[in-house]
Amino acid sequence: MWFFTEEERELQQLCRNFAKNELAPFAEQHDHDESFNLAAFKKMGEIGVLGITADPEYGGVGMGATAATIVMEEFGKACPASTLSYLAHSMLTINNIQMNGSEQQKAKYLPKLITGEHIGCMAMSEPDYGSDALGIQTKATLNSDHYIINGTKMWITNAPYADICYIYTRSGKDKKDLTTFILEKEKGQFEVGKAIHKMGMRGSPTSELVLDKVKIPIEHRVGAEGDSTIHMMRNLEIERITISGISLGIAQACVDQCLQYANERKQFGKTLGKFQLIQKMVAEMATETEMMRSFLYNVCKEYDNGNKGPTSAAMVKLALPKMVTKIALDAIQLHGGYGYSREFPLERLMRDNKLNEIGAGTNEVMILIIAKNLLKAQQEKMQ
């Protein structure tokens, strides 16, 4: 993008090289085995991208949504599953602690998370509460100088490998009485339940978390009791923006694969690229990808400039994953039988992208948020 700073361009090249060497060669195998590229994840700490939005005081980079989305796009081209785990660690755990934790909590947890010595996860969804995030039932009850937490969390990315869990609980009767805690695995403060076997993002470990009468010291609470609804909504904005970067990377990977295939594959005595229908398909895919890139990074820039709000984040989250699923399906169609086989990465990219239409808020929830805010803004103008 024309407005990238020199630092952002350097980050882009760093991540592009890393993805080519450390993610792409292993993506198919990890998808097949449902295994985690832990070696690459640790190296992300070595190159300094795990703490992309964290304060340099704790070892972070101190950059914003634009930089984080650059990482998502470049990694997402190579291995969306590893990128999803990166998002859960860097945006859902590190960024949440950076934004909401006390100075003592940040000093304690961030350095090891940023170097990759520790892996983080965030626990919000539950077996009966996904889109209805404010309906969660995991209960935290204050008992003198500690809390007792009971409940089960579901679909938690990185949970099987997590050392630290940033968890949302209910602490009062009101629907908005939510309180967050930072839990430590080595202290037995959470247990990993059954593994979740998924259609896509199979190289990103996912499981349930079980909390059975867990005793949590009060100093593990993040902020004041009942104060976490605003924390949740604020971090959802940057989560929705950056997860859209994974979809953008998938779209670009599909375009690149189609261009290469159209120039190499021959049918009826000439390469596919000579056929007008194939030209139409690649032209539309490439154009749609550039449109998405401009839209997403403009929202990133506005976010970094302080123009934050749920509407634009919901718009990119609605538009990009849905459009990229179409692009991935078109790419499969262009490749014919090869596209449908595992010999090419397209079927994996399509499966991986479908998660982005569900995680961080479904398409349907994004529609509700956008419509509600637009109608409210119009009503205020009429008053």
Q: Identify the helix (H) or strand (E) that includes residue 270.
A: strand 270-271
Q: What backbone phi and psi angles, to 5 degrees, belong to 101?
A: -75, 160
182 strand-pairing partners = 166
**Whole-angstrom Cα distance, residue 261 to residue 376?**
48
CA–CA separation, 183 and 185 (whole Å)? 7
Residue where the block lists tokens 């992300």: 44
Q: How do 270-271 and 206-217 pair as beta strands?
A: unpaired
Specify which residues 214 forms β-bridges with.
Answer: 149
**Count of other CB atoms within 10 angstroms of residue 284:** 13
Pull the structure tokens for residue 361: 């808020």
Active site (catalytic) residues: 239
Cα 93 to Cα 67, 243, 290: the distances in Å are 17, 14, 30
Beta bridge mates, 178: 170
Which is nearest to 166 in space by CA: 383, 174, 157, 382?
157
- Sign of the CA dihedral running 12, 14, 19, 20: positive
CA–CA dist 265, 26 (Å, integer): 25
Angle made by CA atoms 6, 10, 13, in degrees to the nearest 5: 140
Contact 64, 245 (CB under 8 A): no
Radius of gyration of the chain (CA): 21
Nearest Cα to 168, choosing from 192, 197, 201, 136?
136
All residues at 6 or more sequence positions from 272 whose CB lies less than 8 Å from its CB, including other chains: 261, 262, 263, 265, 266, 278, 334
